[in-house]
Copies of this chain bind each other. A is one copy, B any other.
């Protein structure tokens, strides 16, 4: 259970990012929807402690909010792929070598995931030369390996092909089964509808509202005629 209260953050262009009240429940999949620049990535960065805020509070599982607590419960998949220098394999190794994380999935599971995502032939290639989609696969696998209770996913599927998206969606459903909390930023409304329990809709650096998914998409189809 994660709660945000009265968060205020000044953005450089005199605008303010605000969350008055937001509570996230364990085992739920939240889809974070909103236009470009509405503050979705900023919300995840705040929660993971990558960016700071001026006032208000975040409390994770009633324990408070600091780096240790964040790392205890949360893993983060940033919008831009980030990695260290070296090959794809090196980058997987770094996780085991350096991560402080006690919940890491074991090497066996990693190898299965690598096969599942079809990266087994790429292991010795310098990671920065991989294609956009291959890098996205790497980053998603890394996030799974981190194996945390709450998982922040910032547009993980933006550059993945259709087959891969199917696998990722399946993984997200499995995570939900395991009672993980998931925050998924996506621009794919159909995907959001398929996966989410609730929708957090953002606009102008504010959370407009948190909806039950079924209600949100009912209204949405009613008000829009986006498709075809």
Instruction: List the number of copies, as a whole number.
Output: 2
Expressed in whole angstroms, the minimum distance between the Cβ of A76 and any Cβ of chain B is 15
Q: Mark A84-105, 1 if CB is under 8 A from B, else 0.
A: 0000000000000000000000
Chain B residues with Cβ under 8 A from A116's Cβ? none
Contact in complex: A35, B158 (CB < 8 Å): no
Q: Which of A130, A136, A160, A162: most chain B Cβ within 10 A?
A: A162
Among A1-9, A22-30, A121-129, the stretch in contact with B: A121-129
A219 within 8 A of B: no
Q: A155-B159, A158-B159, A187-B159 are in contact. Are A137 and B36 (CB under 8 A)?
A: yes
Bound Cα distance A187, B136 (Å): 14
A166 within 8 A of B: yes
Contact in complex: A133, B36 (CB < 8 Å): yes
Q: A125-B13, A159-B79, A159-B187 are in contact. Are A37 and B226 (CB under 8 A)?
A: no
List the B residue with the shortest CB-CB distance to A157.
Answer: B187
Q: A79-B132, A134-B36 are in contact. Are A125 and B12 (CB under 8 A)?
A: yes
Partner of A37, one of B36, B134, B187, B194: B134
A174 within 8 A of B: no
Contact in complex: B130, A226 (CB < 8 Å): no
List the B residue with the shortest CB-CB distance to A136.
Answer: B36
Q: A13-B121, A122-B37 are in contact. Are A162 and B187 (CB under 8 A)?
A: yes
Given A36-B164, A160-B187, 12 more pairs with CB closer than 8 A: A12-B125, A13-B124, A35-B161, A36-B131, A36-B132, A36-B134, A41-B131, A158-B158, A158-B159, A159-B187, A161-B187, A165-B187
